[in-house]
């Protein structure tokens, strides 16, 4: 399977991040990427699942409890 547009976007964003560090050391890159990707992913999946957390968890391939924790973490539980 070829490089997805999402992968290209993440790669480009990371390249820009490293180019604009201005002498600063990179810090917590994995957390930075996950936070940037996870919230919009949850928003789209929850909208697609019409708010049904059980269905959204199935779509994501995670447990409903894990989904609920992530929704709370990102302020999407209300």
Q: Could you give the domains of the chain?
A: 5-73 (1.10.10.60)
pLDDT at 2: 60
Question: Tokens in use for 65?
Answer: 């409890």
Does the structure show a pLDDT above 80 at 1? no
pLDDT mean over 20-40:
92
Task: Give the closest residue to 61 by CA, choosing from 43, 37, 77, 45.
Answer: 45
Q: Is the pLDDT of residue 24 over 60?
A: yes
Q: Which contacts qualify for 55-60: CB closer than 8 Å, 24 or more apart?
A: none
């Amino acid at each position: 399977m070829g490089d997805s547009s999402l992968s290209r976007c993440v790669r480009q964003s990371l390249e820009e991040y490293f180019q604009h560090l201005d002498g600063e050391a990179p810090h917590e890159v994995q957390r930075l990427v996950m936070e940037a990707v996870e919230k919009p992913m949850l928003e789209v999946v929850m909208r697609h699942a019409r708010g049904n957390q059980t269905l959204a968890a199935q779509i994501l391939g995670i447990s409903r409890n894990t989904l609920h924790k992530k929704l709370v973490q990102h302020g999407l539980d209300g």
